[in-house]
Structure 1
C-alpha cells in the first residue's frame, strides 16, 4: 500500500484549489441521488452510513439532515479539519485511509462521485473492496458510484479552459496506461501550479472481478442518479450496489 506522501490525491485534495475548481458541482443532483439511493435501500432514520472518501463532508451533512447517523472518513487532513466544525451527535468525521477497514460496521457504506480507482497499486483497489465488506453489517449494502469509463473515454475533451473566480484553469485529459489522466495547470498570485489526477479506467467487468475475489455479491447496477438501468454505451455513471 502506498504512503500518503506518495499519492497525487493526498497533495491535490489538500489544496484550496481543488475545491475552487469543483465548487460548481450540482448540489441538487447530489441531493436527488442521496434521496433515491436511501429510499431504494430502504434505509430508516438513525440507520448508520459510512461516507467513504467524504471530502469536506457535504454529502455526509445532507444524509445527517435526512435523519441518518453518518460517519465521514477521508485521507485529506485539511478536508476533515474543515468537516469537523459540523460534528454533532450522529455526525462524525475522521482521517482514515479507505484501503484499511474502519473499526465499526454500518447499515450502508457509500463511496460517491468517483472516489475510487486513484491507487497506483492494483492491490489497493481490491483491499478497499475487502475493507468495505468488513465495514458492512450482515444485512448492509455497499455502494460505489463510479464514472462509466466507456462513455468517458469516448467523450474525452483533450484540452479545455475553465475560469473560476480570478483563476483560469488549463485542463488536459488523455488515456495513459489504463488511467484517465487530467493535468491541471494554473497561476495564482504570481505563482504557477501543476497538479495531476489519475483515475483507473475500471469497467463493470473489472469491478465484477474484484467482487468475485472478495466474495461479494453484486445486487444492482445503475447508470445514472435517477437509478436507471446501466448501459455501457450511453450511461453517464456506473453505480454498483453490493453486499
Structure 2
C-alpha cells in the first residue's frame, strides 16, 4: 500500500504540474493506533511553478481526492501552508512531525520542523486538544461504553494537553511518545489503556468497548484540570514572517 501511495503521488504531481515538497501519513496511522479498517489519510504540501504565482486571479490552493483502497489525499499549496504555519496550525505541525513520510524535500522539511517551536502557541494548542477531548467525552461516552476509535480520540488529546503543561511545546504526533512521558496516569489507568491498545490492533473502528468507572472519572478530572489551567498559559508572540517568506521564495523559485 505504501508503494501504491508513492506511485499515486508521483502521478498526481505530473498530472497537476506541481512539485510535492512533503507528503506523509496523518490521523490514526501516524498516531500509532490504527484499526484494520482505518483509511489511509495522506497529506501533502506542494508548490506550483513561478508563473502560477504571478497572476492576479484567485486560484484553488488545495487538492482533495478520495480514491479506491480507502486512500484519502489532501494537499495544501505552499503559500496556504506557510500562512497556516504562521498561525500555529496544529494539524500542520502534526503532519510535519509524522513518523510515516512518503516524500520530502529534506531542506524544506527540516526548515519547517526547526521553526515549529517559534510558532507553536501553548494556549491555542491546549484549547485545540482540550476541545477535542471534551467533545468526545460528552458526545460518545454513553453509559460507560464508547466506540474504540472515539476512546483514543479522548486519550490522545488529554495526553497532548499534559505534554503542553509539562513542556510548553508542540506534542509529538505518536501516541506512544505521549504515553511514555505521561505522569498523570495511575497504574490502573495505564493498564486499561494498554489493554485497549491491544484490542484496537484487531477491532474495527466502530467496535464498542465498556469502560471502567475509574477511567471515565479520570477523563472528567483531566478535562476539568486543563479547563482551569489553560487561561494561565503564556501566549506566543506575534508571527515573524521573515523566515517563512524566505521559504516561500526559495521553494517556488
Q: Normalising by structure 1, what TM-score?
A: 0.27
Structure with the greater relative contact order (CA < 8 A, sep ≥ 6): 1 or 2?
Answer: 2
From the two aligned structures, give the one with the greater strand fraction. Answer: 1
